[in-house]
């Protein structure tokens, strides 16, 4: 079996949901239009999507994993989207906060508010 044509589309600042919506619009447009090229050559789309949540990813590793997941997508069926889940986890960031305010009441309010903030993406100190 010949190797399928492969393209990479980089949607920087996008998450899986946006990439999925973009690809579904693309898939639907091609399926719904009577595109002669797709009809004559019986072409299809399949895709892999990787959301990157941290900076620990090497580009070559990302491409390798994306191609591996794409191969699985092609086995699953035509017009299918598979997801790379290996790089979604975000790193915990430590954020130092200093309150510089002369008004003690406002300082206490700000400190209490900051202590009550909880997030999976950062930790206040």
Determine the Cα–Cα distance for residues 53 and 88; give it in Å rounded to an integer: 5
- Taking CA atoms, 10 is separated from 50, 63, 93, in Å, by 10, 11, 25
The answer on 79 and 21 residing in a single domain is: yes
Model confidence band, residue 24 (pLDDT cutoffs 50, 70, 90): confident
The answer on 120 and 60 residing in a single domain is: no
Which pLDDT belongs to residue 35?
67
Average confidence (pLDDT) over 35-49: 75
* pTM as predicted: 0.62
The answer on 21 and 76 residing in a single domain is: yes
Model confidence band, residue 1 (pLDDT cutoffs 50, 70, 90): very low
Residue at 3 is within a domain = no
> Which residue in the block uniquely carries the two structure tokens 């190797």?
3
Determine the Cα–Cα distance for residues 39 and 19; give it in Å rounded to an integer: 25
Higher pLDDT, 38 or 27: 27
Domains of the chain: total = 2
The answer on 78 and 101 residing in a single domain is: no
**Pick from 64, 76, 87: which is nearest to 6 by CA?**
64
């Amino acid at each position: 079996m010949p190797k399928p044509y492969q393209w990479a589309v980089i949607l920087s600042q996008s998450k899986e949901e946006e990439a999925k919506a973009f690809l579904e619009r693309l898939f639907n447009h091609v399926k719904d239009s009577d595109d002669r090229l797709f009809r004559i050559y019986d072409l299809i789309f399949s895709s892999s999507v990787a959301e990157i949540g941290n900076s620990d990813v090497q580009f070559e590793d990302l491409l390798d994993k994306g191609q591996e997941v794409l191969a699985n997508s092609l086995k699953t069926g035509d017009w299918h989207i598979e997801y790379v889940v290996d790089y979604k986890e975000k790193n915990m960031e430590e954020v130092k906060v200093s309150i510089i305010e002369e008004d003690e009441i406002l300082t206490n309010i700000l400190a209490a508010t900051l202590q009550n903030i909880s997030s999976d993406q950062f930790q206040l100190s």
